[in-house]
């Protein structure tokens, strides 16, 4: 064989190895009805993790996930993560966590895809226009509880891997899955499992991908940060029992008045947090960040109308986005023990408990925030000279998560978005909390990217949750393209 023939064979071999995106995208387009039916099957399962009476449904959902991954030839395990204790002292087995592996080539990168298949509660009488557990296609939108959060994104990842298999194309990277069923109630048992498997399941993982979030506008997005959450109870206790306001009003110092008085000192009407030390701990907004926010596609009027208010806290895009994503907020959620039923009741509650939270951002530390809030409320309460007792407890202390947008993972993400959508993505942060991101970062030390495919108007946790067919199908193509882009990363940054 002459040198010309040898070089020709080499050219043919490299052409075969080239990324065949067009063929993969065509395969996805021609199988979209099958993908919608798969989502229909998953949405039909009432995998509500907050309702213990639905635990059998949740277990069935995890079995369905495992079965789908097994049918694709993955190495699949359903991992026991223990039990949860119920309020009455009894215990209930937690749903198992599904793990799967496709490929184990030591010469390839290995990515781990995280997702969840439990959902928020939903009932037709809550105000749904369609049955929440019956996927309904209206004008290209697929309505159903869990459609966007997080069943369609999980299926899109599974279908992305299956598309390579169906066309007998080698996966460009090794792919692992970790799919759980308790995300909506705090991912019980997951932290311990991640720690236990740090040196086994996660040992060869290079990157972790989370697709449990959404775009900010019609422009695709990559998410690089989330806020954490410190959740507090402030309890004021006075008389030994509830009292009649006609008989005792004016004779006792009322716990509810004390409680509302101290709550009023947490935040000003303009949104300024009044607790000493909180604002001082926040990482300053850099010029580069300001520019990034300025470039993001975001319609203030549309956002205001969607929320249903006449005025927002801030009237320019950068200020609003900064206060949604990278500044802390105080929110007062409710008061337990107060009279809240319809009608009138002239009661002085003996003990009332306020529930409020402070969203965490870099460089805040939940342990420091706990002390700042506790000390501050006790000092404010002492000035009231009340005989009532105040008790402050922090029941959640979730840290924020932040990634480097210059990391090769994000460069790969930008390239994949460009290929599929012919535009650059917005780089955004999430105002909410996704604690598993920080757990992955702290326990495994791996680099993480959040790659959403959900729409900005999907109504997560709300009535009429949906994912559009466009986002679901094009999102599958995005994941296909992303696996190829990640395989091109030459060095770990």
Could you tell me which residues come within 8 angstroms of residue 431 by beta carbon, excluding any fewer than 6 positions away?
226, 227, 324, 325, 359
Query: Which entry of 57, 149, 183, 485 is annotated as an active-site residue?
Result: 183
Six token digits for residue 351: 């003990």
CA-to-CA separations, 60 to 75, 187, 434, 460, in angstroms, rounded: 19, 18, 25, 23
Question: Which of 118, 254, 258, 474 does the annotation list as catalytic?
Answer: 118
Is 118 marked active-site?
Answer: yes
Query: Annotated active-site positions, please?
Result: 118, 183
């Amino acid at each position: 064989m002459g040198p010309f023939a040898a070089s020709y064979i080499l050219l043919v071999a490299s052409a075969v190895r080239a990324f065949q995106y067009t063929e993969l995208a065509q395969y996805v387009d021609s199988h979209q009805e099958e993908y919608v039916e798969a989502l229909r099957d998953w949405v039909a399962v009432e995998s509500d993790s907050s309702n213990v009476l639905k635990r059998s449904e949740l277990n069935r959902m995890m079995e369905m996930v495992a079965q789908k991954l097994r049918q694709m030839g993955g190495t699949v395990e359903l991992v026991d993560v223990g039990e949860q204790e119920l309020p009455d002292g009894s215990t209930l087995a937690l749903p198992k966590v599904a793990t799967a592996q496709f490929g184990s080539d030591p010469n390839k990168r290995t990515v781990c895809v995280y997702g969840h298949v439990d959902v928020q509660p939903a009932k037709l009488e809550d105000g749904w226009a369609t049955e929440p557990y019956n996927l309904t296609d209206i004008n290209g939108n697929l309505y159903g509880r869990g459609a966007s959060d997080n069943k369609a994104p999980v299926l899109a990842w599974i279908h992305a891997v299956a598309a390579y298999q169906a066309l007998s194309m080698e996966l460009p990277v090794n792919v692992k899955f970790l799919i759980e069923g308790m995300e909506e109630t705090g991912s019980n048992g997951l932290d311990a499992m991640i720690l236990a498997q740090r040196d086994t399941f996660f040992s060869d993982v290079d990157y972790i991908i989370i697709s449990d979030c959404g775009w900010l506008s019609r422009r695709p997005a990559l998410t690089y940060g989330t806020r954490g959450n410190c959740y507090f109870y402030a309890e004021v206790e006075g008389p030994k029992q509830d009292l009649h306001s006609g008989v005792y009003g004016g004779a006792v110092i009322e716990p509810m008045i004390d409680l509302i008085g101290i709550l009023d000192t947490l935040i000003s009407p303009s949104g300024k947090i009044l607790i000493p030390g909180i604002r001082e701990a926040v990482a300053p907004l850099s010029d580069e960040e300001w520019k990034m926010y300025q470039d993001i596609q975001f319609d203030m009027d549309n956002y205001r109308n969607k929320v249903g208010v006449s005025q927002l806290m801030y009237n320019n895009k950068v200020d609003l986005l900064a206060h949604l994503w990278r500044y802390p907020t105080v929110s007062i959620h409710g008061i337990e023990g107060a009279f809240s039923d319809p009608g009138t009741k002239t009661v002085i509650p003996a003990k009332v408990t306020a529930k409020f939270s402070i969203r965490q951002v870099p460089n805040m530390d939940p342990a420091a925030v706990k002390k700042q809030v506790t000390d501050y409320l006790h000092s404010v309460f002492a000035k009231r000279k009340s005989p009532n007792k105040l008790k402050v407890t922090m029941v959640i202390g979730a840290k924020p998560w932040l990634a480097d947008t210059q990391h090769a993972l994000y460069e790969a993400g930008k390239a994949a978005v460009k290929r599929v959508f012919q535009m650059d993505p917005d780089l955004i942060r999430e105002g909410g909390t996704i604690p598993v991101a920080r757990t992955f970062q702290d326990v495994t030390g791996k680099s993480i990217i959040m790659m959403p495919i959900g729409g900005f108007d999907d109504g997560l946790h709300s009535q009429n949750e949906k994912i559009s067919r466009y986002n679901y199908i094009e999102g599958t193509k995005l994941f296909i393209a992303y696996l190829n882009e990640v395989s091109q990363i030459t060095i770990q940054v």
